[in-house]
Amino acid sequence: MYATRPEARPATVEVFVDGVAVMVPAGASAAAAVLLAGAAAIRETSISGAPRLPYCMMGVCFDCLAEVDGAPNVQACMVAVAPGMRISRQRGARHV
């Protein structure tokens, strides 16, 4: 769970994390939006179904794989938020 510091970076962009609206600062990543929304998980692993949240935030760990605007397996830490972006939990492997 993370909190913004409006005095430093006001939250001006509305995105939807698992359908819930959340305001985040411009320049934040989709993964940051998930952390700011206080979501319990950004994905469930394809092996055991365990919940995960982002670990590295710099494109290394791939624990932030999420569905962004309908596209599965997106590295959410590498995508900047855009108004109206929909970020939802990646459940297991993507469906082909």
Partner 1 sequence: MFDLAIIGAGPAGMAAAVEARALGLSVLVVDEQPAPGGQVFRAVEAAHGDAVLGAEYSAGLGLVESFRRSGATFRPGTTLWHLDPDAGELSLTPGGPAQARRVLLATGAQERPVPIAGWTLPGVMGMGAAQIMLKTAGAVPAGRVVLAGQGPLLWLLAVQLKRAGAAPVLVLETTPKGRLGAAFRAGGWFRGRALLLKGLGLLREARGLAVVRAVTGLRAEGAGRVQRVAWDGGSAACDTLLLHEGVVPATQVPLALGLEHAWDAAQQCWRPVVDDYGAASHDRVAVAGDGAGIGGWQAAVAAGQLAALDAAHRLGRLTAAGLAQRAAPVRRMHAEALALRPFLDALYAPSAAVLAPVDDQVMVCRCEEVTAGQVRAAARLGAQGPNQAKTFLRTGMGACQGRMCGATVARLIAEIRGVAPETVAPLRPRAPYKPLTVGQLAGL
Return the residue of 80, 82, 84, 92 that touches partner 1, per CB under 8 A.
80
Name which of 21 and 58 has its Cβ closer to partner 1: 58
Q: Which residues contact 1 (CB under 8 A, 6 or more apart)?
A: 35, 38
- Pairing, β 43-44 against β 51-52: antiparallel
21 touches partner 1 (CB under 8 A): no
Name which of 2 and 21 has its Cβ closer to partner 1: 2
Distances (CA, A) of 70 to 11, 33, 73, 94: 24, 16, 10, 11
Task: Give the footprint of partner 1 on this chain (CB under 8 A).
Answer: 1-5, 8-9, 24-29, 32, 35-36, 40-41, 45, 47-48, 50-63, 65, 73, 77-78, 80
